[in-house]
Chain A
Amino acid sequence: MSRLSAVKPAYWIAGVLLAVTVLAPLIVSTYSKAEPRLWGFPFFYWYQLLWVVLSVFTVGIAYKLVMGEERKRRAAQGLGDPDKPAKGAQQ
C-alpha cells in the first residue's frame, strides 16, 4: 500500500474541492469573453462573481469533511471538543 492510499476519502474530496476553487478562477482563458451575457453583465464579469458564490459551497463542504475527520481523530486520541471546553467558561 502506498502512503497516498492511506489518506482518508474525506481528505481527498476536501483537497480536490479546494484545489478546484484555487485553479478555476486562475485559468483566465476559460472566461475572458463577453458572451453569453447575463442581465447585461459580460460573461467575464458574471462568471467570476459566480465563482465567489461557488467558493462558499466548495470551502464549506471541505470544512464539514475535514471537521468530521478531525473530530474522529480527536476522539481517538481522547481529546475534548474545543468548542465545548470541559473546564472554564466560554465567554
Chain B
Amino acid sequence: MNHSVDWVQLIVVVLIFVAVTVMGFMASRWRAAASMDSLDEWGLGGRGFGTFITWFLLGGDLYTAYTFIAVPAAMYATGAVTGFFAVPYTIVVYPLIFVFMARLWSVSHRHGYVTPADFVRGRYGSRWLSLAVALTGILATMPYIALQLVGMQAVFETMGLGGDNLLAKDLPLLIAFAVLAAYTYSSGLRAPAMIAFVKDGLIYLVIGVAIIYLPHALGGWEAIFGAAEKKLTTTNPATGKPVGSFIPGVTGHSAYWTLALGSALALFMYPHSVTAVLSTKSRNVVRRNAAILPAYSLLLGLLALLGFMAIKANVNITGLDGLPNPQLAIPRLFDQEFPSWFAGIAFAAIAVGALVPAAIMSIAAANLFTRNIYKEFLKKEATPAQEAKVSKLASLLVKFGALVFVLGMDKTISLNLQLLGGIWILQTFPAIVVGLFTQWFHKWALLAGWAVAMVYGTIEAYNVVNPATKKHFGGSVTNIPFTDTQVYIGLVAFGLNLVIVIALTLVFRALKVASGVDTTHPSDYTADRGDPGVHDLPELLDEGGPAPAKS
C-alpha cells in the first residue's frame, strides 16, 4: 500500500465535495418558507416532502455511509451471519412500518409532535416516560453520528491523506465536519434532503458499475463465492472454530433471524427515521415509500457482496497504524480495482453519504433535546423561535461531540456504543408503537420495562467476549438463558421488556394506580392532510428548506 496522496482521487473528491457544499447552503432557499424560525421549518423542512423527495431522503438517511462500509466489512471478516442479515432486515422493516408509521404521522400532525417522545408525552401524559424515550434516542444517535465519521476516515485514509502529526491526519475530517455543521445550521433539514439526491445518485452509479465490472475483472461470481467460502470456512487457530459463516448452519439460524427482526423493529425507533417520516406531506407518503425503498435494500445486498469480492481480490486491509482493519476492505477494493478518477467518485459517494445521515441525526437529536428536555423541564414557555434557536445550537453541539468522540477516543468505543445503541433504541418500541394502537400499557409499567431492558441489554452486550481478542462487547448475539441457542441481545431484552410491561400493567390496573391522561383521540390516528386540525409541522427539520405545503 502506498502512503502517498493520489491526486486524481483527491481532486475528484474535492470537486464533488465543493459542489455539495454549495448545494447545502443554497438549500435554505429551496421551496423557501416565509420564516425559518420555527422547528417545523428548520427541523422538518416545512413538512412538505412528497414521495419522490422522501424516497431520496429516507434512502440517504437509513442507508448510511457507515452501513456501506460496515456491511461489506462484516461480510469480508466473518461472513453471512454478521453481514448478510442486513438483507432480510431491510426486507422485513417495510411491511412493519407500513402498518404503524402512517398512524404516527397522523397523530403527530394533529398535535404538532416533532419527536417520538412528544407523542409518548401526549399519549401517556407522562413527562418521565417521555424523558426516557428522548434520552434513549439521543444516546443511541450520538455514536451513530460518530460512526459516519469513521466511515469518512476510512476513505480519507485510503486516499493517502493523513500525515504523522495529529492535525494533518484529522484535518480533512475537521474541514468536512465544519462545513456540514455550517450548512445544517443555516439550512436545516432541507440541506440533507437536497444533498441526498447527489449522494444516492453517486452511490447507485458506483454500485452499478462495481457489480457489473468487478465480477468480470475478478473471474466471475463463481470464483468470488468460491474464494469467500474457502476463507470463511477455514478454522481460526485461536478459537478452533471457522473464521465466519458462508451459509449459516443450523446453529446460526436463530442468530440470523433475530438480528434481522430486532434490527428491523429498531430502525424506525431511531429519531432520525422519525424525523424523515414526519417531514413528509401526507399520511401515506411513508406507505408509498415502503413499497419503493426496497430498491435501496437491493443495493445494500449487492454492496454486501463487495465484501466477498474484496476477499477474492486479496485486498490489503492494513491500516496506517499497521493493524488490520476490515473497514478498509471496500475503499481499498475500489482503490485497487478501479482507475483513480472512478475510485475518486466512489470515495466522494461514501464521504457525501456520511454527511446526509449525520446532518439528519444531529437535527433529530437536537429536536429531542429542545422539545423533551429544554421545553419540558427547563423553559416551559419557550416560543417557536426560541425552540428553533436552541435546536440549531444543540445540533452543533451534537456534531461537535461526535467529532471529539471520534478524534479523541479509540474508534472501537464508537462501535461498541453503536451496537449498544441498537439494543437501547429497541426498548422504546413498546411505548411508541404499541402506544399507536392502544393506551392499555400503564405508563409506570412502560418505564419499568424500559429500565430493566436497558440494564439487561447493556450487561449482556458487555459480557460478550470476542474469543480471539478477549475484549468485551465482542458482538451482539448471546445465548438464550439456559440454552445454547444464539440470539440477538436486543430482541431478548425486548422480550423481557414486554413481559415486564404486561405483568406490571396488570398489577397497576388491579391496584388502580392512576394512569396518565391521554390527550389524543382515536380519530387522530387516521387523520390526513387537509383534515380539520391537521397542520403542517413548521418545526421539523429545516430552516431554509421547502415551503410548507399550505403557506
Contacts and interface: CB of A to CB of B under 8 A. Distances in A.
Interface string B189-215: 000000000000000000000000000
B247 A40 contact: no
B531 interface: yes
B256 A52 contact: no
Given A59-B290, A79-B528, A39 B221 contact: yes
B247 A33 contact: yes
B290 A52 contact: no
B531 A63 contact: no
A28 B250 CA distance: 9
B305 interface: yes
B288 A63 contact: yes
B98 A59 contact: yes
Contacts of B31: 91
A36 interface: no
B247 A34 contact: yes
Given A80-B530, A85-B530, A62 B261 contact: no
Contact of A86 (B222, B302, B305, B530): B530
Main secondary structure of the interface of B (DSSP, over half): helix
Interface in B272-326: 282-284, 287-288, 290-292, 294-295, 297-298, 301-302, 305
B94 interface: yes
Contacts of B508: none
Nearest to B90: A52
B530 A82 contact: yes
B22 to A, nearest CB: 23
Contacts of B247: 32-34, 42, 44
A18 B92 contact: no
Interface stretch (B80-88, B354-362, B460-468, B473-481): B80-88
A62 B253 CA distance: 29
A12 B383 CA distance: 46
Interface residues of B, number: 55
B80 A44 contact: yes
B95 A21 contact: yes
A85 B283 CA distance: 13
Nearest to B255: A28
B249 A42 contact: no
Contacts of B261: 26
A49 B248 contact: no
Nearest to B260: A26
Given A18-B95, A26-B88, A62-B95, 18 more contacts: A21-B95, A22-B96, A28-B256, A32-B248, A32-B249, A48-B88, A52-B297, A53-B298, A59-B291, A62-B98, A63-B291, A70-B526, A79-B528, A82-B530, A83-B282, A90-B549, A91-B547, A91-B549
Interface of B: 31, 48, 80, 84, 87-88, 90-92, 94-96, 98-99, 220-222, 224-225, 246-250, 252-253, 256-257, 260-261, 282-284, 287-288, 290-292, 294-295, 297-298, 301-302, 305, 526, 528-531, 546-547, 549-551
Closest 7 CB pairs of A and B: A40-B221, A88-B550, A25-B88, A40-B222, A18-B95, A82-B528, A82-B529
7 contacts: A40-B224, A48-B87, A49-B298, A63-B287, A80-B531, A81-B530, A89-B550
